[in-house]
Structure 1
Amino acid sequence: MDLWFLGTGAGRPTKERNVTSIALKLPEPCGELWLFDAGEGTQHRLLHTPLKLSKLSAIFITHLHGDHTFGLPGLLSSRSYFETEQPLKLFGPPGIRKMVTTALDISGSRLEYELIVEEISEGTVYEDGLYKVEAALLDHRIDSYGYRITERDRPGKLDSAKLRELGVPSGPLYGVLKGGGDVTLDDGRVIRASDVVGPPVKGRVVTILGDTRPCGNTLKLAAGADVLVHEATFAAGQEEKAFDYGHSTTLQAAAEAKKAGVGRLVMTHFSSRFRLEDLPELEREAQSVFPESVAAYDLYQLSVPQPARSE
């Protein structure tokens, strides 16, 4: 599971930094690509990564401000150039359907795949056998959501040596045991899954927030997450300005990460007043509160490791 920061700026692009978009590359066997926000120029940034637009299966929009959405029409149109019939799911606040369909209709753009648009509210917005995505409202100038992506726990590893010792023939019975079911052999012996399957592999949790002041739902979404992606538009000492504009500072992001007990904080959405050479100081500010803090830059890539098996 890999996070790619395609744009880490706030408001407008600069020579060093594009506006907001984050890609989440899911591991095999899924192997799909999910996108969180799509500011102007997102598809250009994708071209500088190994990520494939043809693998894009879902887009989650946090809020409708242009620095998070103006790249959508072009990206949706470009996906039609790839030979894929896989539908694309687009999740976002009320208004996202009108925004997208108006742009596509007026421009005469035709999509060669099914676009499924779902306008979200708080709660579970997506769920399948591998992942669950929950959304909650944050505190910004317009409705802004955060997303909690939970990977489901996976069965533990089969003890192949023990299975051979017990005389369990390889094949379908292995699958039953792997799935947690007990099996009965031809000689009447019952092999219990709990005796031959290791502890389950705990799923990863990634929390990606839209623009926000510190708020209670940050902690709800981020509790115990392996990675928290939190905006840090302003630096320490600019709390009043951050509040006025509906944003957070480095220290506030770090405080939220500490309270939520996350594994790592990745800050993004930096004001255009900050240059790349300012990032180390912004990191130091956050690390004074939460040591596992990092300031993202465009094309920064982070692998989310698989947690150890639970006991």
Structure 2
Amino acid sequence: MRVKFLGTSSAVPTNDRGLPAILVKLGGESILLDCGEGTQRQMIRGKESLMDVNKIVITHLHGDHFFGLFPMIQTLGILKRSSELKIIGPRALEPLLSSILEGTGSKPQFRVIFSSIEVGRPMDLGRFTLEFFEVDHNGFETYGLKLKEKDRPGEFDPKKADELGIPVFMRGFLQKGFTIKLPDGRVVSPKEVMGPPRRGAVLVYSSDTRPSESVIEAARGADLLIHEATYLEEHKDRALATGHSTALEAGEVAEAAGVKKLALTHFSARYSDEDLPRFQEEASKAYKGEIVVARDFLSLDV
């Protein structure tokens, strides 16, 4: 799983930071988590293909998280996209999306499939599952998410295959989970030459929130927690007033959840890039694991 931050600002873009958008690549999937204004340009600047995106998740209907959705769909239409695009978001997004696309003459020729977010009902999306949970954004309907790669097959044991006399041309079937019959009539199952399944990667994205128990529960043991850190502690009053978190609070959530890595994002435009090391310093007072302060176009392997 590869994660690329396309926009790490909050509410207002800066010279160095675009509005919220995170690209996740997993196998043949290319998934956008939020789509702030200017996301398609950020993708172009980051040398990512718009046409490869097959799923877009909108966590809530504040403009900085979804105003880039409509022009992106329009551009995909201009580029003659033919494959379907799945959009997942709050229920109110569907009529809004239809109204804007039809009202502006931008309804695409390709198929757009909309799915409403449902808490407690994980979505099976092939290589991974997607699970949503409510977060505390001052009462505004907002969802965090957990993206879990399905377990991968265990390691193939060539030495064991040699001992069993399995021809090389038949080994691929075992690696794909098929039982085979050898030329001498013996039957060999995958478990005889494959190690235990390997746990799939787990990513949790808080979206916009105050420190929330729901985030802690979803993120327990996760490989990567992407948590908003809109403010430093000196502006905690603003965090409380607007339903956001400080870097220290994000660190406290990560520590409570026992995550392997914490990535901070969604920084207020009041802070310059020179201020960003302070976010890591504050988060490290609470969380003792690896901390990454996200910047636009930063990529992480999970």
TM class by shorter-chain length?
over 0.9
Letter in 2 for 1:281: R
Structure 2 residue corresponding to 1:228, chosen from 222, 225, 229:
225
* Structure-2 separation of matches of 1:170 and 1:301: 37
Q: 1:195: how far off?
A: 2.7
Instruction: Note the 1:1-311 alignment, pairs <5 A.
Output: 1-27=1-27, 30=28, 32-141=29-138, 142-171=140-169, 173-180=170-177, 182-291=179-288, 292-304=290-302
Q: 1:208: how far off?
A: 1.2
| TM-score between both structures, scaled by the size of structure 2 | 0.93
Letter in 2 for 1:163: A
* 8 Å Cα contact 1:77-1:109 kept in structure 2: yes
* 8 Å Cα contact 1:62-1:209 kept in structure 2: no
* SS of residue in 2 equivalent to 1:265: strand
* Structure-1 separation of matches of 2:286 and 2:72: 38
Q: 1:278: how far off?
A: 0.1
Q: 1:268: how far off?
A: 0.7
Per-residue Cα deviation, 1:108-142 (whole angstroms, up to 9, x for no partner): 11312100111212023521331000001101131
Letter in 1 for 2:146: R
Q: 1:277 and 1:56, CA in 2 relative to 1: closer, same or farther beyond 3 A?
A: same
Letter in 2 for 1:169: P
Which shows bigger deviation, 10-19 or 258-267?
10-19
* Structure-2 separation of matches of 1:178 and 1:2: 24
Any gaps of 5 or more consecutive residues in structure 1? 305-311
Q: 1:179: how far off?
A: 4.5
* SS of residue in 2 equivalent to 1:80: helix
| TM-score between both structures, scaled by the size of structure 1 | 0.91
Any gaps of 5 or more consecutive residues in structure 2? none
* Structure-2 separation of matches of 1:124 and 1:151: 16
Which shows bigger deviation, 231-240 or 176-185?
176-185
Q: 1:19: how far off?
A: 1.3
Which shows bigger deviation, 120-129 or 241-250?
120-129
* SS of residue in 2 equivalent to 1:129: coil
Letter in 1 for 2:297: L
Q: 1:216 and 1:104, CA in 2 relative to 1: closer, same or farther beyond 3 A?
A: same
Per-residue Cα deviation, 1:39-62 (whole angstroms, up to 9, x for no partner): 111111111112111110000011
* 8 Å Cα contact 1:80-1:112 kept in structure 2: yes
Q: 1:192: how far off?
A: 4.2
* SS of residue in 1 equivalent to 2:267: coil
* SS of residue in 2 equivalent to 1:133: strand
RMSD over aligned Cα atoms: 1.8
Q: 1:164: how far off?
A: 3.3
* SS of residue in 2 equivalent to 1:77: helix
Count, aligned residues: 300
Letter in 2 for 1:9: S
* Structure-2 separation of matches of 1:129 and 1:62: 21
Instruction: Give the fraction of aligned pairs with identical amino acids, expressed as a percent.
Output: 38
